[in-house]
Structure 1
Amino acid sequence: MKLLLLCALFFIFKTAASQTASIDAFYTSPETKSVIFAVKKELKITCNVTTSENADNIGVEWRKEGKLLSEVDNLKNRFTLLTQGSNHTLKVTETTNHDAGNWSCGVLVKGAVQDTENIFVATTIAVKIKTENINVVEEEKLRIECSVLGHPYPQLSWKIETGYYNGSVSTSDERITVEDYVDESGNTVEDGALLIEKVDKVDRGLYYCIAQNKYYSQDLGESTSMVRVKDKYAALWPFLGICAEVIVLCAVIIIYEKKRNKTELEESDTDQSPDQKNTPDHGKEANLRHRQ
């Protein structure tokens, strides 16, 4: 009897042990084990289950930040579960930045979790320099801010194509600095602002803000701004030009008036009769007539 009981227990134990299952996910970026999605579009995560031949009662459970999806309030009525063969797919609609984070799919054998796969979900990125065309006066301060979207925040870098600098901005350059700033939403944008304390004419050119997804190297974004540097005396040149025009105009008027007056005098001398000229002979004839 004891032998029969031991054989039964051994058979049950062996059968249970042989019912194994494992689960793997399909990643956008296998290197970082992450899935990337675009905000307001559909998020889809697919996990594949591998089981032993005699395994039955197989199931898959989904969690976000350690909670079952049914316990996450902002996911209600937004997700659906699909099964096609060994592939189990989760679809989430009307996505937002809050859908990014730590997700997991776990395979269940007779209600018990046998294997779990962790997946980090991140959003695609977007980058934009706030001002596409910047005009700055020579020796004034230049500041360019780059706004970004994405969760988690992407990695930012700067590139410049000017007469002074051509290439990626290095922290070793004393004239050009990169710093963090706080955006309108109160979020800190790391390396989001580029500064030049005293702009020179050689600083005119193209400035690039480049963003890269930390979890997916192929997700890149770039925004460009054209910087024009004005001469610090630029406002004075129009005034000096007006003054020069006035001086030239006055000189032309004066010369014209002088020439006109001279011409009038010459014409008056030409028009005078010879009999009326005051000559010595003319004076003698007048005296003789008077004596007679």
Structure 2
Amino acid sequence: MVETPPGPGPEEEGPVIEVVVPEGAPLELACVLRVEQRAEWRREGSAALPAALQVAGESAGAGAGAGSGGLTARLRAAAATRELQGVYSCARGPQAQRLRVVVKPRPAAYVTVAAAATEPATTLAPAGAPLLRQSEVLPVRAESGGAPPGTPQYYDVGRNTSMTCSIPAASGQQIVWEKNNTVLANVKEIKDRYKLESDNARLVISRSVEEDYGNYSCKAGGEAQHWQLRARVYTKLPSTDSSVVDGQKLKLVCKMIGKPALPVKWFYNKDHTSYDEEVVKDLQLGVELETGGRIKLENSDAGIENGQLVIEAAERADAGAYACIPDFSAAGNHTQSPHLPAVTVLRVKDMYAALWPFLGICAEVLVLCAIILVYEKRRTKPELDDSDTDNHDQKKS
């Protein structure tokens, strides 16, 4: 729900407040009316609202202006669609507030995040599906958990994860948690980041890191339950813009976040020479990078299979957009990370590109010197003529 403050005074036009909502998410607009205002929703100045929108009426609001008798007008839609975009106003008059609704495309066009950590791996989007910007990240759970014992549980690096032990502890016995057969209290990398709740039955790991992956177990009264904790993997590239000089060697290293690591797949689109809103939108997952000859894939220094793209003697035709993603087809039941793939746009520069500015400066200096010489020659000629005239007059006298 979006609630806006009361509008400005009658002398000025109401501000346009941008409301951004993901496609498919519930939409609710709310604004606080002044005492003299009556709710009358309009879209782009027209009283004809889309059929998906429903006026929810007016109620005493808790926002600014409510204390002076103001009401809150609400407009709702069960699921936001692109057709609902536009500028809305909740009352007539120049003082009416205006809200611009922007519906962002469904980010699941590239990956579908598993609804539960135990679901099998989802598949890549088919050829033709748009690839989203690296900077746009799908929503990540504040805390992962809930996988039953004996099954893999996946977590997002940097977020909390939890496991719940269902072994009934006998009177006087405590539940003991272990990682890789080592009591948690003796595991240095997790020692200050975990806590036990509900009489040690629930383990919560805060700010998970890659090294938290492993085999966890809870033990009590001779019984044990086990979990395989795995970090969802995603990729990173050093920058969204890369460059290389024509004829030189290029090396792009795709960094893998999360463990256990997966092989990397590379994709390419030659039609983009600059990074903008369209580059990721148009980069198609179906266009996998063709290797061979000058272009080859190598294992990175971190041991990631195909984690390094090498182009020997780069050519102008190599320019374009490159993306690296984890190869989930080799992951078994690994669930995909909600993070989006890494994308960089490669520019291949002319090997003489740095020389042209220097030659231009040299040409400017030469032209300037020529102008100075011509000016000096023209200035000294009249002086010589005057000197000859004076000498002639002195001889006659």
| TM-score range for the pair, normalised by the shorter chain length | 0.5 to 0.7
How many percent of aligned residue pairs carry the same amino acid? 29
1:208 lines up with 2:323 in the alignment: yes
Q: Which residue of 1 aligns with 2:120?
A: 31
The answer to whether 1:241 aligns with 2:360 is: yes
Q: Is the 8 A contact 1:64 1:101 kept in 2?
A: no
> How far off is 1:179 after superposition?
1.0
How much does 1:150 deviate? 0.8
The amino acid across from 1:141 in the alignment is K
1:73 correspondence with 2:186? yes
Q: Once the 2 structures are TM-superposed, how far is the Cα of residue 237 of structure 1 from its aligned partner? A: 1.4
Q: CA deviation at 1:216?
A: 0.3
* One-letter amino acid of the counterpart of residue 224, structure 1: V
Moved more, 219-228 or 135-144: 219-228
CA deviation map 1:179-215 (0-9, x unaligned) = 11214xxxx1222111111112233333323236631
Question: Among residues 350, 358, 367, which one is paired with 1:231 in the alignment?
Answer: 350
Q: TM-score, normalised by structure 2?
A: 0.44
Alignment partners' CA distance in 2, 1:176 and 1:205: 14
Question: Which residue among 82, 96, 101 is the counterpart of 2:214?
Answer: 101
CA shift, 1:227, in A, is: 2.6
| Cα deviation digits, residues 72-116 of structure 1 (max 9, x gap) | 732779453649xxxx9632324443432234679x9xx786xx8
| Cα distance in 1 for residues equivalent to 2:291 and 2:242 | 25
Q: 1:253, 1:112 → 2: CA distance?
A: 99
Shift of 1:31: 2.5
Aligned pair in 2 of structure 1 residues 169, 89: CA closer, same or farther (>3 Å)?
Answer: farther
CA shift in 2, pair 1:256/1:76, >3 Å = closer
Asked if 1 retains the 8 angstrom alpha-carbon contact of 2:232 and 2:336, the reply is no
Aligned length: 228
Question: Structure 2: which 5+ runs fail to align?
Answer: 1-114, 122-150, 274-282, 389-397
Q: CA deviation at 1:126?
A: 4.4
Which of 140, 144, 167 is 2:248 aligned to? 140
After superposition, the CA RMSD in angstroms is 4.6
Residues 318, 348 of structure 2: 8 Å contact kept: yes
Alpha-carbon offset, residue 264 of structure 1: 7.6
* One-letter code aligned to 1:176: I
For residues 149 and 218 of structure 1, the distance between their equivalents in structure 2, rounded to whole angstroms, comes to 10
Counterparts of 2:178 and 2:211 in 1: how far apart (Å)?
A: 11
Change over 3 Å in CA distance of 1:260–1:80 after alignment to 2: closer
One-letter amino acid matched to 1:226: V
- The residue identity in structure 2 corresponding to 1:93 is I
- Which residue in the other structure is 1:52 paired with? none
SS in 1 for 2:313: coil
> Unpaired runs of 5+ in structure 1?
1-25, 50-56, 270-292
- State the AA in 1 paired with 2:204: V
Residue 141 of structure 1 and its aligned partner are, at CA, apart by 0.7
1:164–1:203 Cα contact (<8 Å) kept: no
Distance 1:35 1:62, change over 3 A: farther
Mapped to 1, the partners of 2:346 and 2:258 lie a distance apart of: 27
Kindly indicate which of the two structures has a greater share of residues assigned to helix. 1
Superposition deviation, residue 125 in structure 1: 3.0
Q: How far 1:29 moved relative to its partner?
A: 2.8
Aligned to 1:241, the other structure's residue is in SS state: helix
Letter in structure 2 aligned against 1:35: Q
Change (3 A) 1:27 1:103: farther
C-alpha displacement of 1:232: 0.8
Comparing 36-45 with 227-236, greater Cα deviation is found at 36-45
Tell me the amino acid that sits aligned with residue 30 of structure 1. E
How far off its partner does 1:160 sit? 2.5
* TM-score between the two structures when normalised by the length of structure 1: 0.57
